[in-house]
Amino acid sequence: MSQAHEQQPEKKHDWHKLPEEVFRFMEARTASNSAAFLIPTLKEIAATSETGSFKMLDVGAGAGSMTCEFAQIVAPHGGHVTGVDVNPVILSRAAVVAERWGVTGNISFEQADAYKLPYEDGAFDVVHCHQVLVHNKNPWDLLTEMLRVTKPGGVCAAREGDLDTEVMWPPLPGMLKFHHDLEVKLIVGRGGSATAGRELLSWALKTGVKRDQIKTSFSTWSYTEPEDRKLWASGMVDVALGANLAEKHVSYGISIESREEMRRAWKEWVERDDAVLAQLIGEVIIRKE
Amino acid sequence: MSQAHEQQPEKKHDWHKLPEEVFRFMEARTASNSAAFLIPTLKEIAATSETGSFKMLDVGAGAGSMTCEFAQIVAPHGGHVTGVDVNPVILSRAAVVAERWGVTGNISFEQADAYKLPYEDGAFDVVHCHQVLVHNKNPWDLLTEMLRVTKPGGVCAAREGDLDTEVMWPPLPGMLKFHHDLEVKLIVGRGGSATAGRELLSWALKTGVKRDQIKTSFSTWSYTEPEDRKLWASGMVDVALGANLAEKHVSYGISIESREEMRRAWKEWVERDDAVLAQLIGEVIIRKE
């Protein structure tokens, strides 16, 4: 979730200074709600591996909530999951999350640059990332590195948003500004992509694998229910539009007034009965030959 | 699928003149692939109804393939499904489809205008439509009529595309023209909506129901696998860009050259390994009080 190339230091936030409630929305991501496309394959590979031998790598693990559920899933087969992230601060958070999930015996977290993973070729049965490629230039190089550490016969999987498809209703001007002037511009400005979901299959093919080694699909990311919307909007107001980012946003051409309009729009959106937010997400599972 | 208001006669195609293979893509829609959000609720209501009493209405049934699977699902509980469509020609096709599905005892098809359904108030336990509201002006009036014939305690459900979120990769100019100049312009020009998916919840609320009576969700419609893409593209080339529509398209400002470019693009897209097509779809299930 926060995996970034080491040449992009501006992406590192000072997470440990954020209030506890901010982490709630980061930790709302689980394997069930954000990697459902991979779970059957993961279970199958873990179940057919020799007991105690299965290894998974979760790249860009962030606060580790998805990593924890992966570890729960493979635990009955003696499998182990390693979560890596480029940000050392968020990794200390991941240990807390793992304790809360009650997952300790078969999980570990390490700092690592996703472009230069500190593992041998073929070290893992399953290698996964979620919303990582979308933030990076030349994402196929990152996939190539993930495939390098994937065991022949194993799989490498990614799930990436297609930000240009993000829909918001009602179309509050402050919400649309937030989407176009902040979210899209920041991601694209840092070398990321607003069309990652639809391009994901083409990125996988650029690693040199053949089309019949790839299973591709689409799913959605959405906020429709009052409690979920409240959680997401508070994250947008407190984190994405936090006071600590005001100066940076102004330097990107987003005025203090625009920021205030965006904050008001998110707060209005939470109160509306007709409010929804959704985005198309692309998925690939690459089987390594 | 082809349900239209009676004041929009230009939407009626002369389906019975189309070659057999054209129907293949129309009939590829099933309850499993296009109404998965409703199936658990449908099963629950059918299973808890008095045996032989359950009744469902499928509005805009088109060629009837979804209606047939609904009928299969409710058959063990003695339920009955009625499919209605405004187009009498397509209804004769539905009978053929039902025979192919082996569903005959608990299904019937009738011609009806969705804005004036020829049924008593509360006649059905479940009332459903798929890709119908998206084509109509004032879709909340259509939902109001569907709710009128829904039994108190029953549900009224709709699933509608959000055409503005349709993504195509690779971005072949002819495909993008097809999307913007033909698909979107024709639907919007006829009074339909290119943002139905995101607006669906707001339309449901306009019928006067309360937010807590509505369950809303998003899913996707996509073509990623070679055989599926071939089927869809042949439908676009043979039906949407069929010779019989050339004159009409020219009157809408789409030149013969543009149509040829679109046809070539669809044919190129079928051959590409990196080709995908996807769209965000909105869903609502309204429980009637």
State residue A176 phi and psi, 5-degree precision: -65, -40
Q: What is the pLDDT of residues B42-81, one digit of tens each?
A: 999 999 999 999 999 999 999 899 999 999 999 999 999 9
* A241 touches A265 (CB < 8 A): no
* pLDDT at residue B41, rounded to an integer: 98
State residue A219 phi and psi, 5-degree precision: -145, -170
3-state secondary structure of A155: strand
* pLDDT at residue A18, rounded to an integer: 56
Confidence of residue B1 (pLDDT cuts 50, 70, 90): very low
Instruction: Write the ipTM.
Output: 0.90
* pLDDT at residue B210, rounded to an integer: 98
Q: What is the pLDDT of residues B139-157, one digit of tens each?
A: 999 999 999 999 999 999 9
Which of A198, A223, A271, A285 is the best mutation test for B, with the most CBs of B within 10 A? Answer: A198
* A86 touches A4 (CB < 8 A): yes
* pLDDT at residue B93, rounded to an integer: 87
The four Cα atoms A203, A206, A211, A215 give a dihedral, to 10 degrees, of -30
pTM score, two decimals?
0.92
Tokens of A74: 């493979």
Closest Cβ–Cβ partner in A202, A216, A220 for B218? A220
Q: Which amino acid is at A201?
A: L
| pLDDT average, residue stretch B163-187 | 95
Confidence of residue B266 (pLDDT cuts 50, 70, 90): very high
CA dist., res. B13 & res. B9, Å (int): 9
Instruction: Give the B-side interface with A, CB within 8 Å.
Output: 162, 164-165, 167-170, 195, 197-199, 201-202, 205, 211, 216-220, 222, 224, 273-274, 276, 278-280, 282
Beta pairing class for A107-111 and B214-223? unpaired
Nearest CA in chain A to B162: A167
3-state secondary structure of A167: strand
Q: Which residue has the tokens 């990697």?
A: A35
Nearest CA in chain A to B282: A278
CB burial of residue A39 (10 Å; 0-12, 13-18, 19+): middle
Does the pLDDT value for residue B15 go beyond 60? no
* pLDDT at residue B9, rounded to an integer: 37
Profile chain A (289 residues) by mean pLDDT over runs of 10 residues.
36 52 76 97 98 97 95 97 92 89 94 97 98 95 98 98 97 96 91 97 98 97 92 88 90 93 97 97 98
* pLDDT at residue B244, rounded to an integer: 87
Residues 6+ apart with CB under 8 A from A102: none
* pLDDT at residue B18, rounded to an integer: 56
CA distance A223 to chain B (A): 9
Residues of B in contact with A218 (CB under 8 A): 220, 222, 224, 276, 278
Instruction: Starting at the earlier edge strand, list the strands of the sheet with A276-287.
Output: A107-111, A80-85, A55-59, A124-130, A150-169, A276-287, A214-223
Angle at B173 between CA B169 and CA B178, to 5 degrees: 90
Q: Which amino acid is at B151?
A: K
Could A220 and B222 be called an inter-chain contact, meaning their C-beta atoms sit closer than 8 Å?
A: no
Q: Which residue has the tokens 């499998």?
A: A79
Q: HSE-up of B78 (CA within 13 Å, CB side)?
A: 6
Which of B167, B193, B219 is the best mutation test for A, with the most CBs of A within 10 A? Answer: B167
CA-based nearest residue to A237, from A174, A170, A161, A193: A174
* A254 touches A179 (CB < 8 A): no
CB burial of residue B256 (10 Å; 0-12, 13-18, 19+): exposed
Tokens of B8: 């929009």
Phi-psi region of A62 (alpha: psi -120 to 50; beta: other; left: phi over 0): left
Closest Cβ–Cβ partner in A199, A219, A273 for B169? A199
**Mean confidence (pLDDT) of chain B:** 91
Q: Which amino acid is at B218?
A: F
Could A202 and B278 be called an inter-chain contact, meaning their C-beta atoms sit closer than 8 Å?
A: no
Could A164 and B162 be called an inter-chain contact, meaning their C-beta atoms sit closer than 8 Å?
A: no
Could A279 and B282 be called an inter-chain contact, meaning their C-beta atoms sit closer than 8 Å?
A: no
How far from each other are the two terminal CA atoms of chain B, in whole angstroms? 28
* B155 touches B286 (CB < 8 A): yes
Tokens of B175: 């495909």
Per DSSP, helices labelled H in B149-225 are 173-177, 185-189, 196-206
Phi-psi region of A202 (alpha: psi -120 to 50; beta: other; left: phi over 0): alpha
Could B274 and A169 be called an inter-chain contact, meaning their C-beta atoms sit closer than 8 Å?
A: no
